[in-house]
Amino acid sequence: MEKKWTILPVDQKAAAALKESLKINDIICAILTQRQILNFDDAKNYFRPSLKNLPSPWLMKDMRKAVERIKTAFENKERILVFGDYDVDGTTAVASFYQFLTSIYNNQHTDFYIPNRYKEGYGLSKKGIDYAFETKVSLMICLDCGIKSVDLIDYAKKLNIDVIICDHHLPDNKIPDAVAILNPKQSDCNYPFKDLCGCGIGFKFMAALAEDFSIDEIQFHQYLDLVAIAIAADIVPMTEENRILTYYGMQKINSNPSLGIKTLMDLSGLKSHLTITNVVFAIAPRINAAGRMDDASKAVKLFIETDQEKALELANELHTDNSDRKEVDSTITKEALEIINSDEDFKNKKSSVLYREHWLKGVVGIVASRLIERHYRPTIVLTKSGDLATGSARSIKGFNLYEAIYECKEHLVTFGGHYAAAGLSLLPENIEAFAKQFDEVVAKNVSDDMLVPEITIDAPIRFSSIQYPFFNILRQMEPFGPENMNPVFVAEKVTDTGYSKIVKDEHIRFVLKQDNITLNGIGFYMKDKFDLLLQKKPIDVAFTIEENEYQGNKSLQLKVVDFRVSE
């Protein structure tokens, strides 16, 4: 698939001023100014994040109400249920808050609950509330869900169950009648950072409780590794408070991870210094796989387990779930691509809506993302669930998916989501009409140019600059994530040495030269472009820089994003 390259502009005056202040590489300074790091103090806060710079939890609307309700529960020896969603954010939020709660309250009076994706669906569920009622719970704490559950919160109230909501999703016009709502996205919430994930909001709740009960910070700081995993997996902006929390969470993962995380690391083959990339592509999928394939409560049980043998057993279950998930989503992706490639209609549309009854509900979101990598269109993948067709949608850059689906709501039973991703359900007999209207909405709002994926390049660079002193400063820009991505570079007029080759039938192992300097690289799923190398013409290469370790030897290599023949 051809891609357009966009090299970000640089304010040369601002970059020069920053270089004068910091005395570091001018390419690094240019990238920092692109990220609005313009002076010494900005750079200090960026390169040396401090937990002291976290906003007070008491700035969050309803925090005092939430703390007081917990204190009342303690005084009255009430049963408390910690409820969370089945994804990484929900399960890490439940695991951290449940452990903190049981450390300060009788664990005979505490319990947790994760809904089943297939039987209960996303978010707060009636079955979960019924479980709370049956087990004599009078206070539920909802993490990573609840802000849209107006009717279910009313149902809980009828059963004399109070609910504290800790959610980060955008509220609707009508707010649930909960005893307290912790959500910075409420229009009347003065909390300064709006982009916490669900686990992050749970962390702030723990911070307020610790302060109110005069509990040492270590009692909740020990869960920063779980918070970091949630932030990375939930793809929230890696800026300000999220970056501080992740920075210290990654330190804990690399120095003293909890038993559950350590066991997952070992099974993933991760031994040395972990990065956010390792978390996103090795740790998070194993946590998510529990809910996709089976029962997400296994993930919570792993993170609260203190026995090594039992932790290994649970981690192995997650590892097996993930292997099964990979096989299933690979099979479904292949089937879906065959449908797209064999049906002429898809070539004339600006969207893709696919439906097969036998596809697994838990992986259709992953499949939608994979299809966009190969067929760059707003994509919806549906499967049969009970009497309904249900599924996930993923968008392309610059297109508001949620608004497009909203325009087609007459065909839907339920829907929800945000700009880039959404979930929906409808009657199978309405799929054709929905797909037709959805494509009309997409065609009206998506230009042909938007259907060409874009690579954003931070800066040009020459091979001579790619050395360890430069890379070591780059590494201090971690943790990477949205709004603080791993810098992408372009090296122009590079030549292939003749030693580049296709590996594992899909990828290219590059051996490239510029200025008599040779560097190795890897380009995943690029075999279709290998003919460009065989032309023996100079090429431009877009890449990130990473460290490769082989048989104890470390070297820098290129992780190639794209390449093209030089002009």
Co-location of 441 and 468 in the same domain = no
Please indicate, yes or no, if residue 324 is contained in any of the structural domains.
no
Mean pLDDT on 249-270: 92
Domain boundary among 303, 319, 335: 319
Q: Is the pLDDT of residue 560 over 70?
A: yes
Q: What is the pLDDT of residues 382-434, one digit of tens each?
A: 999 989 999 999 999 999 999 999 999 999 998 887 788 888 999 999 999 99
Question: Measured between alpha carbons, how far is 20 from 39 in angstroms, rounded to an integer?
Answer: 10
Mean pLDDT on 186-198: 95
Q: How far is CA 302 from CA 286, 287, 297, 306, 319, in A?
A: 11, 10, 9, 9, 12
What is the DSSP pairing of strand 4-7 with strand 459-460? unpaired
Co-location of 525 and 497 in the same domain = yes
Question: Measured between alpha carbons, how far is 248 from 54 in angstroms, rounded to an integer?
Answer: 12
Please indicate, yes or no, if residue 334 is contained in any of the structural domains.
no
Q: What is the pLDDT of residues 161-174, one digit of tens each?
A: 999 999 998 888 89
Co-location of 207 and 142 in the same domain = yes
Question: Measured between alpha carbons, how far is 36 from 42 in angstroms, rounded to an integer?
Answer: 8
Co-location of 155 and 269 in the same domain = yes
Co-location of 429 and 507 in the same domain = no
Cβ distance 489 to 542 under 8 Å?
Answer: yes
395: domain CATH number is 3.10.310.30
Phi, psi of 212 (to 5 degrees): -70, -35
Question: Measured between alpha carbons, how far is 24 from 28 in angstroms, rounded to an integer?
Answer: 7
528: domain CATH number is 2.40.50.460
Please indicate, yes or no, if residue 327 is contained in any of the structural domains.
no
Q: Is the pLDDT of residue 1 over 80?
A: no
Listed in sequence order, the residues at least 6 apart from 415 whose beta carbon sits closer than 8 Å to its beta carbon are 405, 406, 409, 422, 423, 424, 425
Instruction: Give the rounded distance of the alpha carbon of 488 from its chain centre.
Output: 20
Cβ distance 335 to 356 under 8 Å?
Answer: yes
Co-location of 234 and 309 in the same domain = yes
- Contacts by residues 48-53 (CB-CB < 8 Å, ≥ 24 positions apart): 49/243, 49/244, 49/247, 49/248, 50/244, 51/221, 51/244, 51/248, 53/244
Q: Is 336 exposed, middle or buried (0-12, 13-18, 19+ CB in 10 A)?
A: buried
282: domain CATH number is 3.90.1640.30
Q: Is the pLDDT of residue 357 over 90?
A: yes
Listed in sequence order, the residues at least 6 apart from 208 whose beta carbon sits closer than 8 Å to its beta carbon are 57, 58, 60, 63, 66, 67
Co-location of 83 and 172 in the same domain = yes
Question: Measured between alpha carbons, how far is 149 from 414 in angstroms, rounded to an integer?
Answer: 13
Please indicate, yes or no, if residue 325 is contained in any of the structural domains.
no
Q: Is the pLDDT of residue 565 over 90?
A: yes
Average the pLDDT over each of 72-86, 484-498, 543-557 and give the range with the smallest value. Answer: 543-557
> If you search the block for the tokens 């970056």, which residue do you land on?
243
What is the DSSP pairing of strand 110-113 with strand 79-84? parallel
Q: What is the pLDDT of residues 294-343, one digit of tens each?
A: 889 999 999 999 999 999 999 999 999 999 999 999 999 999 999 999 88
The structural domain count of the chain equals 3
Domain boundary among 451, 481, 514: 451
Q: What is the pLDDT of residues 41-85, one digit of tens each?
A: 999 999 999 999 999 999 999 999 999 999 999 999 999 999 999
Instruction: Give the rounded distance of the alpha carbon of 155 from its chain centre.
Output: 32
Please indicate, yes or no, if residue 367 is contained in any of the structural domains.
yes
| Alpha helix segments (H runs only) across 256-294 | 259-267, 276-278, 284-293
Write the DSSP symbol of residue 523: E
Average the pLDDT over each of 201-205, 373-377, 379-383 and give the range with the smallest value. Answer: 373-377
Residue from 102, 97, 99, 207 nearest 142 by CA = 97
Instruction: Give the rounded distance of the alpha carbon of 25 from its chain centre.
Output: 31
Q: What angle do CA 412, 418, 422 make, to 5 degrees?
A: 45
Provide the domain limits for residue 296: 57-319
Phi, psi of 371 (to 5 degrees): -65, -40
Domain boundary among 431, 451, 471: 451
In angstroms, how far is the first alpha carbon of the chain from the final one?
19
The two tokens of residue 111 are: 């319990």
DSSP annotation string for 89-122:
HHHHHHHHHHHHHHHHS-GGGEEEE---TTTT-S
Please indicate, yes or no, if residue 331 is contained in any of the structural domains.
no
Please indicate, yes or no, if residue 332 is contained in any of the structural domains.
no
Co-location of 393 and 275 in the same domain = no
Co-location of 382 and 513 in the same domain = no
Please indicate, yes or no, if residue 335 is contained in any of the structural domains.
no
Co-location of 285 and 348 in the same domain = no
How many helices (H) and strands (E) would you count in the chain? 22, 19
Co-location of 391 and 427 in the same domain = yes
Q: Which amino acid is at 388?
A: L
Co-location of 403 and 464 in the same domain = no
Question: Measured between alpha carbons, how far is 376 from 82 in angstroms, rounded to an integer?
Answer: 40
What band does 272 get if pLDDT is binned at 50, 70 and 90? low
Q: How far is CA 415 from CA 144, 354, 411, 552, in A?
A: 17, 17, 10, 51
Mean pLDDT on 16-22: 95
